[in-house]
Structure 1
Amino acid sequence: MQTTVRNIVRFSGIGLHSGRSVRLSVHPAPPHHGIWFRRTDIDGNNMIAARHDAVELSPLCTMLVNEAGVSVSTVEHIMAALTGCGVHNAILEIDGPEVPILDGSAADFVRAILRTGTRRLDAPVHAIEVLRRVHVVDGPASAMLTPAEELEIDVSIEFADTAIGHQHKVLRLSNGTFVRELCDSRTFCRRADVDAMQAAGKALGGSLLNAVVVNGERVENPEGFRHDDEAVRHKMLDALGDLALAGAPILGRYTGIRSGHATTNRLLRALFADPLAYRIRTLAPSEARLLPGAGLEKDVFAHL
């Protein structure tokens, strides 16, 4: 069955790119509502759909924009958390243009959602079942969707910095894998890129408190990586958040090679442009095991 959060969940922090303080609250929503953002600092047309066709392409994050030009950016981590915890419907009220970065991962979002819990709604889940291969190429990056029984994510990355180098990981995302394996992996960047972005007035809220910074073979954060392959795990986290903008759970295998937000969004647009590549499938209650977030219990993940 579809779900929503049981109670309001609140967060506060700064935007990674804007450096501005921001408050975000996740509210329950009825069945078939989906995920929407509401900019509470703006009057009038302030609702923004969390959907692939509302994305304005950006190399640094995922930005959503409505028809009035009202936007909210860096939505990928909260979207991954909602999907990974099995939340299908919610209203996200935010008083600024960017979701708070918190510690650079989705762990704080997940912890709060698990603490409040979810509520089942009287409506079945409609999933997007991939029926045939869809593939996009963006320079050295590529992304592909192929048929699979449940959501699988396969990501490869390659960086000149030997602290990261080549990493590859494949996971099935059903039954809480996101919470166990991915949600605490932080965003990362190269020192040279940080300096260039901040000189250009970007990444103003970035620090070693909310990102892993690498410089050649060295990790600048005193605590180092949380996982040896934290970089590829975070890319998988981002991919899940961007795939969540399909508007419903995906049953299929995502394969990304050096892919980022823009490539994944182009892949979703290519999927929905081909009516033979997918179908909307109504899931029976017994098929809930196929979805991320099924069977999660907050006490099991008290280590977060």
Structure 2
Amino acid sequence: MSVMASEQDVAAVGRILVNPNESLTTRFRALFTLRNLGGSEAIKWIGEAFTDDSALLKHELAYCLGQMQDERAIPTLEKILMDTSQEPMVRHEAGEALGAIGNPKVLDLLKKYSEDPVIEVAETCQIAVRLLEWKISGGDRNSGETTDNNPYLSVDPAPPAQRRGVSELRTQLLDESLPLFERYRAMFALRNLGTKEAVLALGDGLQCGSALFRHEIGYVLGQIQHEASIPQLQAALEREDENPMVRHECAEALGSIGKEACFQILERYRKDQERVVKESCEVALDMLEYENSSQFQYADGLLRLQEVQ
């Protein structure tokens, strides 16, 4: 979504994003404001923040660039994917964002990094390659089958599977012999259903082998915002030997759900030893405050600017 704003407004929000003295929650709101504003200036400011030392923030920068689907972000994302000094969760998100933008010119790079020694990066690029190849071949247009629409307006790393019952989709979701792309398709089909039964099936995915897969489960449960998923999200966050990428996504999902029980869980982990988990709890608590408030929008960078002018 692109909103009319002056270059000065974009720059003012951008300066908040790149300022390490601002709170992380304020910088997150500035980032999502820039995502909504769109355009080359917004992309430039988002790109400048990749020098930050917060892996969580950088992961979210890459996510937003992918969601914007603006090809001007491709060079920045390619650079981050190739930069092995960046944290795995940041490089993974850059790979996923390149798939989300959807230009087939990145296929060769994604194929190369499909063999990356960092498993989360390799698996992400494998899924992105499958997504681009699926699009090039015309998607599901030739199958004659029906899929449910995505009610969340997100750009997903895989299209939903054909419409089927929850038990059949659950079987596909949990079958670790299938390629991740096919399991992701079941995941997004279950998300689009959004019923309690679908949510519980998705929650079972938090026990699967791939950390990348488990983290994506956390993400979609946050989109659905169904309180039936709270116990499974809590259990994953509480597992201290769980991959931090998974714990972070489960924390943010609890913030999205926004119930009192979520608040108590997140308060408990906002001092976690793992920085990305601690920061995710801070951001999630800010999101939870928003969900339970009369604030007009979460991405309120422009409103905040008006207040200080």
User: Does TM, normalized by the shorter one, top 0.5?
Assistant: no
Which structure's relative contact order is higher, taking Cα pairs within 8 Å and 6+ residues apart?
1
Q: TM-score, normalized by length of structure 2?
A: 0.25
Identify the structure with the greater helix proportion. 2
Q: TM-score, normalized by length of structure 1?
A: 0.25
Identify the structure with the greater strand proportion. 1
